Structure 1
Amino acid sequence: MVEQITKGIKISVKTKYNGVSYRNNRLYYVFAYFITIENKSLDTVKLTNRYWKIFDSLNKTEIVNGEGVIGQTPILKPNDNYSYSSGCFLESNIGAMKGYYTMQNAENYKDFKVIIPTFQLATPTTSN
């Protein structure tokens, strides 16, 4: 598990290798990631956007961004946490992801970035 705290918001990430899949006659390695967001600050915050850089050791870097996560824009009061899972497909068996969430302070409506720490995506035979 990797963790990072930015401005009182703690991001924890776990990953899981889910095997291979064929799409359009191409082999992909399938990874799941599990994110927990904990509000350790004194402010209520809202997750408004996400930004991801997905690195594939055999492919170009993919950028993914947009509103919220998994169709939601959660609001976290102090000491609240929010968890979700998602996944990605890589052409190689080794990769990594990193990024940030844009959060908004519910009191003053100011936006700020919360870093999602870099985490590795690797099949079990490559992670030893």
Structure 2
Amino acid sequence: MITTITDGVKVSVETIYQPEYSNPANDHYMFAYKISIENVGHNAVQLMRRHWEIFDSNGAKREVEGEGVVGQQPVIEPGSTHEYVSGCNLKTDMGSMKGQYQMVRLMDDAAFDVQIPEFYLVAPYRMN
């Protein structure tokens, strides 16, 4: 598990290769990732937007940006955690992702960015 803390928000990531949804013969590799966002600070925050940078091992880069995560803009109280699972397809059997969440501190409406640590998407057979 990869973890980072930015301004009292702890982001942890786990990844899982999805062979049943992948088709290597057509350069299609599917990965799932589970994100845990824990508020280790003293003020409630709300996740407003996300921005991802996605890299294939062939050098290709994509960016994805949008509101919330999986259709939600969760409020995370101090000591609470929000978890979700999403997915990413690559054209190679290895790659990586990193990004930011734009958050708002509810007590003063101050916006700030929380770093999503870079994590690797690797088909298990590449680990040998």
Q: What is the TM-score of this pair, normalised by structure 1?
A: 0.94
Between the aligned partners of 1:52 and 1:95, the Cα distance in structure 2 is: 13
Between the aligned partners of 1:27 and 1:116, the Cα distance in structure 2 is: 26
Q: 5+ unaligned residues in a row in structure 1: which ranges?
A: none
Moved over 3 A (4+): none
Between the aligned partners of 1:17 and 1:51, the Cα distance in structure 2 is: 22
RMSD across aligned positions (CA) = 1.3
For residues 1-128 of structure 1, the aligned pairs below 5 Å read 1-19=1-19, 20-22=21-23, 26-58=26-58, 60-128=60-128
Q: 5+ unaligned residues in a row in structure 2: which ranges?
A: none
Sequence identity percentage: 43
More helix by share: 2
Amino acid at match of 2:67: E
Between the aligned partners of 2:43 and 2:64, the Cα distance in structure 1 is: 28
Contact 1:59/1:91 (CA < 8 Å) preserved in 2? Answer: no
Deviations 1:27-85 (A, max 9, x none): 30110000000000000100000000000112520000100000000001100100000
Give the number of aligned pairs: 126
Between the aligned partners of 2:18 and 2:112, the Cα distance in structure 1 is: 33
Amino acid at match of 2:118: T
